[in-house]
Amino acid sequence: MNKITLLIILFAMQSIVANAQDLTIKNNADEAYLLDRFEIMSGTLHHSFHLTTKSVSAKNMVSFLETIEKPRLWTKRDEANRLTLLQKHHEYTNDEEGNEPSNRNLLHTIYKMPTNFFEYGSNGVFVAINPIIYYNQMLESGSDKNIFLNTRGFELKGYLNRKVSFYTQLTDNQERGPSFVRNWITNNDVVPGAAYIKAFKGDGTDYTLAKGYIDVEAMKDHIHLSFGNDKFFIGDGYRSLFLADFGNNHLFLKMNTKFWRIHYQNIFTELYPTRRWSADNLLPRKYAAMHHLSINIKPWLNVGAFEAVVFGRKDHFDFQYLNPVIFYRTIEQQNGSPDNALLGFDTKILPVKNVQVYSQFLLDEFSFEHIKANKQWWANKYAWQIGAKYINVANIAHLDVQLERNYIRPFTYSYRDSVADYSNYNQSLAHPNGANLIEHIAIIRYQPIAKCFISLEIINRRQGMDTSATFSNGGNILKNYNLRNGLYDGFNTLGGTLVTTNYANFNASFQVKNNVYVDAGYLYRKANSSIAAFQNKSSNFYIGFRMNTNRRMYNY
């Protein structure tokens, strides 16, 4: 990817005279849920940011929070949440609100502002450094294992002369997860969300996570360029069938184009094929190009289109896919159809007050004639999602409910080799469990007081699994899809060995101070199957402390 990197650097040098784009709010960040909630409360889809892409700039978020019209049910807790978000990104505020200095700073240097350990701001330059600390201790029923997560690191963020903004994060992690997590690591040879891992005290893992990017505004208020190492999420649901942030970070070039009611995002990325780890080897590469178009047709209606292609050529980037506007499927067919191309559509509706309905439909491969024939043709590969969010349920302030259903046909996302399947570092780029599944999700969230957040997540998933390494029923997207038996027989959804997984997580988080939380809760997961190898039961109580990071999720 050296040629691409050179092009990016040259383009960034030309663009540096423009105003800088700023840091983006990630899907799993604490503020993402609150921002989504505020938009639903407002009853209007806002044109300055499209939450579906989960690529909201902090600057636009602050502008929205400073000008939001407060609806009738606005409470003191809503106001406290709004001020917390403004304080966290106070460098972009235009007035004193959320920009008040801390009254407990140390030596007039440490925590001068409530949200940053150290910061410097003067003459258009802003730099902030924060420690990242996370310790979570679990007690798994029936196990004598020490179940824990220990994370230490830092983040560095800021902008220079309001021309270039940047972010970097580095953490060192030691972890021994619950039994089902250790099984996942054994089966996939990777920690979810990580890459290279080392053994730690037997069946524990030791790994480092690093991400960082630089942001430049190439055309003020319209075109923004980002380059770095990170991961993304496209969608309004708990899961994404397009692009999810479950797996490891990857090298990327991203371009966001905004005008009128339209947001258009391009992502060009370098990935790693499926493989088993061995030391001191140069890993092979593969590449992907994606774009997502989002349009606010009405103040209550958003529609989008998604397209992605994973290149079927190892260690080789096809520069035809750098075209940011052409349909990738056209290029892929022109090249002789060697690659894995996917097409998707999504919608988001605000039908009534305090309600959002969302959906995704993904098409990997499809034949209407085979659908009509009802022969369960293996290559009818598609997935769909439908969900709804209802906030302030029955006018109970801060009681929110989300319901979601995901359906993924066998062999969706898979390919005939590990180069073009829809994965990175042995992990799916979309749904963490792959394909050949039906999933139901229910989430209840409640904020009883300003600094306390309570949630209950319930997931029921049924999936068809394989019992042989040389045969595929279409659930494991890392397997060659030619490892199937014929063209039609048995390729219905949930075919193979049925595994039913029930998951529940009750969590209470208390905000000690800005960006500092104490978590406590209970996690339960049980997998039932006629095959003993797929059976598992895990019951866990936990307590944790975290600073400047988000809660670790074991929701797979």
Query: Closest Cα to residue 252, out of 523, 481, 24, 18?
Result: 24
CATH code for the domain in which residue 196 is found: 2.40.160.10
- Is 267 part of any domain? yes
- Is 71 part of any domain? yes
Q: By residue range, what is the domain housing residue 444?
A: 2-547
Q: Is the pTM of this model over 0.85?
A: yes
Mean pLDDT, residues 193-214 taken together:
89
Total domains, the chain: 1
- State both tokens at 304: 């989008």
Query: Closest Cα to residue 168, out of 23, 298, 70?
Result: 23
- Is 275 part of any domain? yes
- Is 311 part of any domain? yes
Burial state string for 298-333 with b = 16 or more CB within 10 A and e = fewer than 16: eeeebbbebbbbbbbeeeebbeebeeeeeebeebbe
- Is 553 part of any domain? no
Q: Which range has highest mean pLDDT (61-75, 112-126, 342-356, 405-419)? A: 342-356
Lowest average pLDDT, out of 284-298, 347-361, 445-459, goes to: 284-298
Q: How far apart are CA 171 and CA 150, in angstroms?
A: 10
- Is 96 part of any domain? yes
Q: How far apart are CA 277 and CA 254, in angstroms?
A: 29
Neighbouring CB atoms inside 10 A of 553's CB total 15
Q: Look up residue 180 and give its amino acid.
A: F
Q: What are phi and psi of 214, to 5 degrees?
A: -120, 140
Q: Is a pLDDT exceeding 70 seen at residue 372?
A: no
pLDDT of residue 307: 92
Contact between 472 and 436 under an 8 Å Cβ cutoff? The reply is no
Q: Is a pLDDT exceeding 80 seen at residue 375?
A: no
Give the list of residues 6+ apart from residue 423 with CB closer than 8 angstroms, or none: 247, 271, 273, 274, 413, 429, 477, 478
Contact between 45 and 38 under an 8 Å Cβ cutoff? The reply is no
- Is 554 part of any domain? no
- Is 555 part of any domain? no
